[in-house]
Every structure is written in C-alpha cells, then in structure tokens.
Amino acid sequence: MNTVKVLQKAGCVVDYNPEQTCCGQPAFNAGFWDEAKEVGNKFLDDFSENSVIVAPSASCTGMVRNYYTDLFLNTTKHNKCRAVQANIFELSEFLVNILQFEYFGAELEGRAVYHDSCSGLRECKIKDEPRKLLEQVHGLEIVPLHHSDTCCGFGGTFAVKFDAISTAMAQQKVDNALAAGADYIISTDTSCLMHLQGYIDKQGLPIKTMHLADVLANGWGNV
C-alpha cells in the first residue's frame, strides 16, 4: 500500500491487478524450471507489455529482467517477455532514474543503515538510488554499514537448507548495524528484512527493519 501511495505522490496513476501472483523465482532458484515457467506464464498474462511495471522488490525485478529470457526463449511468449523485461523497474530506480523524483516530505527520527540486497546490487545494479531517496527524509541520519554489500543470509531456500550458516550471516549483518549505532536497517527487499527481523525478534535486539517504501511514506498523510 505504501508503494502505491509513494507512486501516486510522485504523480503516477497506479493500476493494481489483484489477480497477480508470484514471479516464479522460488521455483526457478530451486531448479524447478517447468513450474517456474508455469508461474511466469501467468505473470506475463497478468501484466501488459505496454505498461510500466514497478515492484517494491529488486528480487522480483531481477528475476523477470534477467532470468525470464532463459524460461521463454523460443516460445510464443518470447516477444511479450522482452517487452515486459524492458518495462519493469524496482521502486527506487523508477523514482530516481525515470521520474527523477526524490523528495516526498517523509519524516523518520533516528539513525539508519542501508543494506544492499544481493538482487538489488548484483541483478538490478541499484546502489545510489535508494540512498538518494533516504537522504531526503527529515530527521533520518544515514550512517555507513560495515560490509553493506554482503548477503544477509536469506537466499530463499538457502536459509532452509543451511540454517546455521544463514543465521550466522544474519547475526553479522545485525551486529554491524548495531555497531554503527543504527535504530533501523532499511532495504528494498522484504525477503532480506523478514530474515533479519526474525533474527532481531528472536534475540530481542533494540533495532528494527523497514522497507524503503514504508520510510518514504512515513510522516505524511493520505495521498
């Protein structure tokens, strides 16, 4: 909902399709390409190739942009796939690079670190965009995070198959945020934030995670 609010405040007319489901990434990453293709077919049917598609997730954006090519090469969906790939954007890159809209009048008191998700940094090449948006938030001090570009440990099924390693990676990320004196860990991917917040809650630590969209919509009324 906050993604919709932010896009509307930036001047967009937002059309949300309530029938949309998964992009197929979990199945694809686990090696179930036939199942991923079935879900991906629905994704391509749910969205128009003539519309801009904005996702509050670099993970989903990276999947469609980079890996749908493997799923739909030499298929009847190839042309539509290419059109959709050209029109899908992660939220921060769309706001900063396409709309050139960075100031929302958001307010959030405290110190925060920004976590570069693997999908955002490596698949979508997003680094400066979310930081530019956060620099405009009143009351928020962005402080450096040691190893901000290392994985948080989630990695989809990795967290299930290698839970001890996954938890240790989350601990390192949270410990680095606490060492920076941060009140918040902010990122573009809910999967990372879910993983880190789970560790934080279990340990009862004095820090919380926030999605970029929630930060940008904080402190101002309804659109």
pLDDT of 221 above 80: no
pLDDT digits (tens, 9 = 90+) for 130-186: 999 999 999 999 999 998 889 998 887 888 888 899 999 999 999 999 999 999 999
DSSP string across 125-177: --SHHHHHHHTTSEEEEE---TTTTS--S-TTTHHHHTHHHHHHHHHHHHHHH
Q: Which of residues 220 and 28 earns the better pLDDT score?
A: 28
DSSP state of 71: H
pLDDT of amino acid 12? 97
pLDDT of 222 above 70: no
**177, 191, 170, 55: which is closest to 124 by C-alpha?**
55
pLDDT of amino acid 155? 83
Average pLDDT over residues 189-211: 96
Domain residue spans of the chain:
2-96, 107-216
Average pLDDT over residues 39-46: 97
b/e per residue 22-55 (b: at least 16 CB within 10 A): ebbbbbbbeeeeeebbebbbebbeebeeeeebbb
pLDDT of amino acid 44? 97
pLDDT band for position 129 (50/70/90)?
very high
pLDDT of amino acid 138? 97
Which CATH code is given to the segment(s) 107-216?
3.40.50.11810
Share of the chain above pLDDT 70, in %: 99
pLDDT of 28 above 70: yes
Share of the chain above pLDDT 90, in %: 90
**215, 208, 221, 155: which is closest to 188 by C-alpha?**
215
pLDDT of amino acid 223? 42
